[in-house]
């Protein structure tokens, strides 16, 4: 006789209630066929058969609470266990084989893949790292592999990331691994700007003013040494969408330059970026960054801070909105602002004061 016990269903759960049996004693089942539905304090979960065989005995009835590790099903003697099983094990204390690391929410944890499922993935030419595991306890099931294969049949060939996109992926990975991000947002009423006001220049100068009011956000942080450096000069990185990837050239010493000089510098910088002729030195050394994504679309954003910087400002799409003005509702032009900061280094109060200073400068009559 071979017994199949209630497997560990994940998240430290110790027991589950039997909701419904899908098989009867004497039935012949195949690998992955649903045996029983059980309810935990998280969800109702289908427990599949770990192997093919004839069911000799079912343990427990509907409504019974079963502890993890207690027998659920007894199989008649027959062929050895089909290792295409998804969860649990048949009378053995050996752990299941370990598979590739899953992407997404399961990053850092190990997915479980049994040989039969791995063989199916090879047959269907499915990379297991692209498969979302839906089986109890983080197992990849046959259905998971088949679903991924169906999706991949509608995709183009795999293309390695190169150039700007490869560099972007590396920077974003470093940011995700290191930064502890937090965001605050607000709207700036810019209806009093003069006609034809250069929005980007106003943003650049307002960021310089905010850095003066709250220097903590114009800084670099060395995580390895646990050291922060406040920087007196504002060297502003400005994200430029080139179509082939994102480039962030640096506009130097923005607090000490007038509007015409800043505009000339921006135009030259953007032309160099689009032509891919920007000198490498102009891509390094930003102390804080601006993403003017609203020129394309969007209102607010959770932005990406690239170390060693500790903050990035996002400007959303300018639009007319109904706001309170002089105590009355009015239709005014509004500029949405997002500020994402590294909460390891910057306090919530510092971020809020920076955003207040930024908004105040933008709302001044030009």
The pLDDT tens digits of the residues spanning 192-238 come to 999 999 999 999 999 999 999 999 999 999 998 999 999 999 999 99
Strand partners, 320: 333
pLDDT at position 117 over 50: yes
| pTM (two decimals) | 0.63
In 10 A of CB 277, how many CB atoms?
Answer: 8
Q: Same CATH fold, 164-362 and 95-158? A: no
The closest alpha carbon to 223, from 305, 344, 346, belongs to 344
The per-residue pLDDT for 185 is 98
- Please say whether the structural domain 164-362 has been given the CATH code 3.50.30.10: no
The answer to whether residues 325 and 204 touch, using CB atoms and an 8 Å cutoff, is no
The answer to whether residues 147 and 124 touch, using CB atoms and an 8 Å cutoff, is no
CA distance 59 to 71: 7
**Tokens representing 295?**
């020129």
The answer to whether residues 70 and 88 touch, using CB atoms and an 8 Å cutoff, is no
Model confidence pLDDT, tens digit, residues 57-71:
999 898 888 888 889
Least confident of 78-87, 156-165, 245-254, 274-283: 78-87
pLDDT at position 100 over 70: no
The domain ranges of the chain are 1-92, 95-158, 164-362
CA distance 187 to 202: 15
CA distance 47 to 10: 13
CATH of domain 1-92: 2.40.50.100
More confident residue, 117 or 294: 294
The per-residue pLDDT for 133 is 84
Class at the top of the CATH hierarchy for domain 95-158: few secondary structures
Instruction: Provide mean pLDDT across the span 345-355.
Output: 97
For residue 228, report the phi and psi dihedrals to the nearest 5 degrees: -110, 140
The per-residue pLDDT for 14 is 75
In 10 A of CB 264, how many CB atoms?
Answer: 11
Model confidence pLDDT, tens digit, residues 238-285:
998 877 677 889 999 999 999 999 999 999 988 888 877 787 788 889
**Given pLDDT bands bounded at 50, 70 and 90, which one contains residue 134?**
confident
């Amino acid at each position: 006789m071979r017994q199949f016990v209630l497997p560990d269903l994940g998240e430290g759960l110790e027991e589950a209630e039997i909701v419904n049996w899908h098989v009867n004693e004497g039935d012949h089942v195949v690998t992955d066929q649903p045996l029983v539905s059980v309810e935990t304090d998280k969800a109702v979960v289908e427990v599949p058969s770990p192997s093919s065989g004839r069911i000799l005995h079912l343990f427990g009835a509907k409504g019974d609470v079963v502890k993890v590790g207690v027998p659920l099903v007894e199989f008649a003697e027959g062929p050895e266990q089909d290792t295409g099983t998804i969860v649990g094990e048949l009378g053995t204390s050996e752990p299941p084989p370990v598979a590739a690391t899953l992407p997404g929410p399961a990053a850092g944890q190990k997915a479980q893949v049994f040989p039969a499922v791995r063989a199916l993935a090879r047959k269907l030419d499915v990379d297991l790292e692209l498969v979302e595991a839906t089986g109890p306890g983080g197992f990849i099931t046959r259905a998971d592999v088949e679903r991924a294969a169906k999706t991949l049949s509608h995709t183009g060939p795999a293309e390695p990331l190169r150039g700007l996109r490869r560099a972007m992926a590396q920077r974003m990975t470093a940011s995700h691994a290191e930064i502890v991000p937090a965001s605050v947002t607000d709207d700036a009423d810019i209806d009093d700007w003069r006609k034809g006001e250069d929005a980007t220049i106003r943003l650049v100068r307002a960021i310089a003013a905010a850095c003066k009011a709250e220097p903590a956000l114009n800084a670099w942080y060395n995580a390895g040494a646990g050291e922060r450096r406040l920087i007196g000069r504002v060297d502003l990185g400005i994200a430029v969408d080139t179509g082939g990837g994102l480039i962030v050239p640096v506009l130097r010493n923005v607090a000490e330059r007038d509007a015409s000089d800043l505009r000339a510098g921006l135009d030259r910088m953007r032309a160099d970026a689009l032509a891919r002729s920007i000198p490498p030195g102009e891509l390094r050394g930003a102390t804080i960054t601006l993403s003017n994504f609203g020129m394309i679309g969007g209102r607010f954003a959770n932005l990406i801070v690239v170390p060693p910087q500790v903050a990035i400002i996002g400007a959303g799409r300018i639009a007319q909105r109904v706001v309170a003005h002089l105590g009355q509702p009015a239709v005014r032009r509004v500029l949405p602002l997002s500020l994402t900061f590294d909460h390891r280094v910057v306090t919530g109060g510092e971020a809020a004061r920076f955003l207040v200073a930024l908004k105040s400068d933008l709302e001044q009559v030009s």
